[in-house]
Structure 1
Amino acid sequence: MNNTFKALSDPTRRKILDLLKERDLTAGEISEHFNMTKPSISQHLKILKHADLVQDEKNGQYVIYSLNTTVFQEIISWALNFAEYQEGKGE
């Protein structure tokens, strides 16, 4: 889960995830929302993929990126369990 939190720590990557929350996108479509080079966006996507936060699928000449909702469900479950633990300690 360490890779997940590292990936989420960057505001650009969080914005990419927000974009993918709306719909699946190509890297080119994602890059249109940022004032940075396409290789920089590709590096952010690589980090998100390594953390299993996004998935990619080849579709002809394009790669389509989408959210990996399973990981987000795991994060929510972990956070809820952590919050319950903290409540149990009286904090």
Structure 2
Amino acid sequence: MRSLVFKALADPTRRSILDRLREGDLSAGEIAEAYEIGKASISHHLNLLKHAGLVRCRRQGQQQIYTLHTTVFQEALQWLLAFSK
């Protein structure tokens, strides 16, 4: 699972999406509007973030709403901090 987290965090677009989600939940459409890349590319990025456990997705009507999942960040940070001892 950690390898998926680090793979997801390696991409600047995905990190930017995560930064946007720190401010609150967003629909896939709202996320896509902020970027000059196609919706299919945004969907790919969101799917990777979801599989890494960094975001959660719920359906609200016809929209997919994305939420930051901070537990995975905390676990990754604890794992990294273990190397500083």
Larger Rg: 1
Q: For residue 3 of structure 1, what is the aligned residue in structure 2?
A: 4
Structure 2 length-normalised TM: 0.95
Where structure 2 has 5 or more consecutive residues not aligned to the other structure, the ranges are none
Displacement of 1:21 in angstroms is: 0.6
Alpha-carbon distance between aligned partners in 1 of 2:76 and 2:33, rounded to the nearest angstrom? 29
Verify: 1:35 aligned to 2:36, yes or no: yes
- 1:77 aligns to 2:73 (yes or no): no
- CA drift at 1:80: 1.3
Give % identity: 56
> What stretches of structure 1 of length at least 5 have no aligned partner?
85-91
Question: 1:12 is matched with which residue?
Answer: 13
Under a length normalisation based on structure 1, what TM-score does the superposition of the two structures give?
A: 0.89
> 1: CA distance between counterparts of 2:82 and 2:65?
33
Q: Which portions of structure 1, spanning 4 or more consecutive aligned residues, are displaced by more than 2 angstroms?
A: none
Relative contact order (alpha carbons < 8 A, sep ≥ 6): 1 or 2 greater? 2
- The one-letter code matched in structure 2 to 1:75 is A
The alignment yields a C-alpha RMSD, in angstroms, of 0.7
Separation (CA, whole Å) in 2 of partners of 1:52 and 1:68: 7
